[in-house]
Structure 1
Amino acid sequence: MKQNLLPAFRLTLVLLLVCCLIYPALVWAGAQLAPAGGQGETISHKGRVVGYDNLGQNFTRPDYFQGRPSAVDYNAAGSAGSNKGPSNPEYLAAVQARLDTFLVQNPGVTKAQVPAELLTASGSGLDPHLSPAAAAVQVARVAKARNLDTAKVQALVAQHTEHSVLGPDRVNVLRLNVALDELAARR
């Protein structure tokens, strides 16, 4: 029995040391190399923090670009997807309701023009980005609501499109909406 207890006790101590001290210390040290020391990058407007670069927000006003829907109402403490399959009646009803609302808010846009990302929640429920196509389909509504030339709003979308070598191009919705507010302030 002693020959089994002593190695088990040693293994327990080694794993406690590795899992509870060394690994967390390495993760913390790596986070210090990230922007803002791993605390998340904030976005400010008029001297006040309006959000975080990596967290989606709910924009419902017609003069703002709307982001991807959230299964957790944009609550960062409860990041999750809906866990409902594509044939679930509740899920299908939610997607249809989002589509109907989007089409009413964006006259002139057809069902075929609406990217799926504007109707379905992301896996985390907190995705802050849209594809350039999902932003482009909202340009006419935003331009009309802000009484801006459509070309200016399209140019703003193009300026805020992040190009990636490893993934698809994307637009940070909060940064785009802050730029819209700054453009309105200059007028």
Structure 2
Amino acid sequence: MKQSAKIGQETARLSLGVVIRISLVFIVLCGIVYPLACTGIAQVLFPGNANGSLIENINGEVVGSELIGQKFTDPKYFHGRVSSIDYKAEASGSNNFAPSNPDMLKRTEESIEEWKKNNPDVPVSQLPIDLITNSGSGLDPHITPESAKVQVNRISKLTGLSADQLNKLIEANTDGRDLGLFGEPRVNVLKLNLALNGVLGK
């Protein structure tokens, strides 16, 4: 019996040792080697994406990411979508309000009033829905080409640029459907405003 107990204890000790060694191997492989390999491959093949898809201005200064929207309040610039989290990337997400929710109705009405104040020449009936609605993440950097075009009159008056110049800027900064099939045409608001700055000499 004593001999059997000793054998059992030794077997258990050996099994524990094997488990610990295997665990350490997997910790090193999955926790260190694999992440470093993925990071290295990404940096070689997709450096821009791996570093956050950062956007620089004409002076080489990083002004944002093409993946995260920004809040533009100056009426001389194109405005993006509403963000209930003020475009804070660490707080990605939005309130899942129903259309009948009082807070949702209040925010929408405030957005419409703001639109009417800044764009008196464009009736609310022509206001694209994406300019007064929040995206699922609250971080969407894009608007539809139509949402950019309805802002042309305001920006033209404030900058002195012609509507034709501004429409050409919008067209040049419109991304088509992915692979020609998926998604919808879209305009990155930050890129469009940087292009506008370029025309204005800023």
TM-score surpassing 0.5? yes
Match of 2:123?
110
Match of 1:169?
185
Match of 1:73?
86
Could you report, residue by residue, the CA deviation over 1:44-78 in whole angstroms, capped at 9, with x for unpaired residues?
A: 22312211111100000110000111111111111
Match of 1:139?
152
Change (3 A) 1:161 1:16: same
Match of 2:48?
36
The structure 1 residue matched to 2:95, chosen from 82, 106, 109, is 82
The Cα shift of 1:21 comes to 5.8
Q: Name the SS for the 2:55 alignment partner.
A: strand
The structure 1 residue matched to 2:195, chosen from 170, 176, 179, is 179
Deviating beyond 4 angstroms after TM superposition, the runs of 4 or more aligned structure 1 residues are: 12-27
Identical columns (%): 38
Could you report, residue by residue, the CA deviation over 1:16-66 in whole angstroms, capped at 9, with x for unpaired residues?
A: 788756775675456433342511122222312211111100000110000
User: What is the 5 A alignment of 1:117-156?
Assistant: 117-156=130-169
The CA RMSD over aligned residues, in Å, is 2.9
The Cα shift of 1:83 comes to 2.1
Answer with 77-86 or 111-120: which moved more.
77-86
- Looking at structure 2, the residues matched to 45 and 51 of structure 1 have their Cα atoms a distance apart, in angstroms, of 9
- Looking at structure 2, the residues matched to 42 and 20 of structure 1 have their Cα atoms a distance apart, in angstroms, of 27
Answer with 77-86 or 148-157: which moved more.
77-86
Match of 1:93?
106
- Looking at structure 1, the residues matched to 98 and 33 of structure 2 have their Cα atoms a distance apart, in angstroms, of 40
Given the two structures, how large is their TM-score scaled by the length of structure 1? 0.84
Answer with 172-181 or 26-35: which moved more.
26-35
- Looking at structure 2, the residues matched to 156 and 163 of structure 1 have their Cα atoms a distance apart, in angstroms, of 15
Change (3 A) 1:185 1:97: same
Change (3 A) 1:37 1:130: closer
Give unpaired runs (5+ residues) of structure 1.
1-5
Could you report, residue by residue, the CA deviation over 1:116-155 in whole angstroms, capped at 9, with x for unpaired residues?
A: 1100111111111111011011111111110111111111
